[in-house]
Chains A and B, each alone.
Chain A
């Protein structure tokens, strides 16, 4: 993404921010809360349109492309699982959107649930999951859709220490399997180093700062 500007009403959240990631690279973006990290992810996902600047994937300008056509997956901080669908139906949602047939969807959803160590959870209600389980389902849901770019918004914030450390390793492993370009937003330096190939501070990117 190049020279992105975003402001809400009177607050200038992102000023001339550029960020480049190589295919398959995992970049961690560090910053305090309220620094505009989430906004940056939302610009990449197409949830927020930038006031200026461009977003491209593989050299194609997607700045005006609608979210659902970008092939950008995102794990939200609070998961945003669909409460009226089972665990498997949540994981299979992206495949359903791609027109994958029912049996195939089910099989692939179950395979992803195995990978996130939730085998046997397929028919549970998502409202009955623990925090860690819900996070894993959210991750499986995003990765199952096979996006070319995966965005993670504070994926491990709010979990207790032990679970957090366990999930950091798991997340790093899963993202390698997925073979996607990853942009991870976090305020936790250790977490960033454990998961990402490269760590960037958002404050260094503001006002035209370059990251290499």
Chain B
């Protein structure tokens, strides 16, 4: 912590008018497009009649039950299966270590719809629409959470801590149980909380892979609101989901407080090369198995985009421009059109998110307490399920003069809500590092606070903003939950089109769906890898790896 003398910070401050403007613009956007719809949705949900109708249906309870147990099982399996790659990656140096980590990260950032499509492509028909299909997808999808969150702590545990236990007579298994696992426990709990949140609110994966018996609350909210026209019941369900998540969040906060200990983390222990034949074999097996599990769905996706019941075909790719199923019969869904819509939507939401995020970051850095409130407030959309955001906007902006549902900008705005925190995170760190001392140095050279700010602070924004923009574009391309509520017919984005195509029968449609999913996967991975390569994933993802901070790991595509 750098403490600045009180006097200089008050004399050399930016004019309050500028600060107020910086804070007010993002704050109003948040109020109008997040808070208002959210409150509208909650008011809609507090309706005795609707609540009774919802809870009287057995279906409601079976959906709540399924959502919960599949999330618990998915989380448990993800943790158990994720510990092996977390161990190997954090403890050993081997050829392809970075590659394996990148592969797991690439899988993790894929849009949920793409992940669903990839597993639909991978599974034999017998598993496709079962609970186990959904769970297996969730596990592979979220392996990176465990590897990054737990691995970040694991690589800081000194090798000698385990050696010390061995010299005291502990077997390798005992060392793991008595020393390693207890020390990893806070990280494991944090990872479990994140995975539970993702799987409990799973939407895209379940839309693609789910069947009537395997629907999550999130999917049921969408179904009742948009397919069955039971808006009031959908609102009640959304509130139920929020309540359950609230309870889980409190439990996880209490548990992390209880188990947090002053673990003096040292600089990370150097990963060692496996020396004994047994260690070498174990590392090799874990690495190959992890790589196979992570790569198989992606390979299957590409293979299926070139397959038909009669063998190999390029029809899925060459026919992308046509909406016709058979000559003269049109589906009313144009894959190339969806591609164009997605590109346009992503461009606009990137602009909205980057501008709002930049103003917000500058405001937060300059405004002190009000800035912290804004910072926390802007994070809320990430913690809110995508369906809740889309649903709230759908029922709020449907009456004049706020009948904005049909506006071209409503979908980009919805995406930008989720993307802004990523822009803020990537920008704020840089800003805080630059602000203060450098501005003061400029002041001693005769620059006014405003001038110093413009000359010294603002020029540092371009790089983090570029990172934030790339993340915003990736988020927009993959966003499915909110878009499902907000996109109009003819305005389908890629995820919506993929879900539509894969939901129909007919092998050509399926093939086209897989081809679109391949394109979306490639675009997302390229964007995120660009960010990763720039070495500055600061706010968005690598926080999870650096500090095991649960807020640091978030899904880019929802």
Contacts and interface: CB of A to CB of B under 8 A. Distances in A.
Most chain A CB within 10 A, of B168, B172, B183, is at: B168
B132 to A, nearest CB: 36
Contacts of A69: 169
Contacts of A94: 168-169
Given A80-B158, A83-B183, A127-B264, A49 B170 contact: no
B174 interface: yes
B344 interface: no
Contacts of A83: 183, 261-264
B160 interface: yes
A84 B261 contact: yes
A74 B164 contact: yes
Nearest to A151: B167
A97 B169 contact: yes
Interface in B122-175: 158, 160-161, 163-172, 174
Given A83-B261, A84-B261, A142 B167 contact: yes
A82 B170 CA distance: 13
A93 B179 CA distance: 11
B326 to A, nearest CB: 65
Given A83-B261, A83-B264, A127-B262, A67 B275 contact: no
Contact of B160 (A80, A97, A151): A80
Interface in B80-100: none
A15 B264 CA distance: 36
Interface string A55-71: 00000000000111111
Nearest to A150: B167
Interface string A73-107: 11010101011100000000110011000000000
Contact of B168 (A66, A78, A127, A145): A145
B6 interface: no
A13 B262 CA distance: 36
A69 B276 CA distance: 17
Interface in B163-215: 163-172, 174, 178-179, 182-183
Given A83-B263, A127-B264, A68 B161 contact: no
B255 to A, nearest CB: 15
A127 B172 CA distance: 24
B264 A142 contact: no
Most chain A CB within 10 A, of B164, B170, B178, is at: B164
Interface in A136-172: 141-142, 145, 147, 151
A11 B326 CA distance: 70
A141 B183 contact: no
A82 B167 CA distance: 13
A17 interface: no
B261 A141 contact: no
Nearest to B161: A80
Query: Which range holds the interface residue count of chain A?
Result: 20 to 34
B261 A67 contact: no
Given A80-B160, A82-B161, A49 B169 contact: no
Given A83-B263, A83-B264, A68 B164 contact: no
Nearest to B157: A83
B183 A67 contact: no
A191 B262 CA distance: 33
Most chain A CB within 10 A, of B158, B167, B174, is at: B167
A78 B160 contact: yes
Contacts of B178: 93
A68 B160 contact: no
A123 to B, nearest CB: 15
Nearest to A149: B167
B177 to A, nearest CB: 12
A46 B275 CA distance: 12
A194 interface: no
A47 interface: yes
Interface string B502-515: 00000000000000
Contacts of B171: 66, 68
A45 interface: yes
Contacts of B166: 45-47, 66-68
Contact of B165 (A46, A72, A93): A93
Given A68-B169, A83-B183, A84-B182, A76 B264 contact: no
A70 to B, nearest CB: 8
A66 to B, nearest CB: 7
B373 to A, nearest CB: 34
A74 B167 contact: yes
Interface string B370-405: 000000000000000000000000000000000000
Interface string B252-283: 00000000011110000000000110000000
B279 to A, nearest CB: 10
A42 B172 CA distance: 17
B156 to A, nearest CB: 12
B167 A67 contact: yes
A94 B168 CA distance: 5
Given A49-B275, A82-B179, A93 B168 contact: yes
Most chain A CB within 10 A, of B160, B170, B174, B264, is at: B160
A73 B158 CA distance: 18
Contacts of B165: 82, 93
A141 B170 CA distance: 13
Most chain B CB within 10 A, of A46, A93, A142, is at: A93
B169 A76 contact: no
A132 B166 CA distance: 24
Contacts of A147: 167
Given A83-B263, A84-B183, A49 B167 contact: no
A64 to B, nearest CB: 10
A71 B167 CA distance: 7
28 contacts: A47-B163, A47-B166, A47-B167, A48-B275, A68-B170, A68-B172, A68-B174, A73-B168, A74-B163, A74-B164, A76-B160, A76-B164, A78-B158, A78-B160, A80-B163, A82-B179, A83-B263, A83-B264, A84-B182, A93-B165, A93-B170, A94-B169, A97-B169, A127-B261, A127-B263, A127-B264, A141-B168, A145-B169
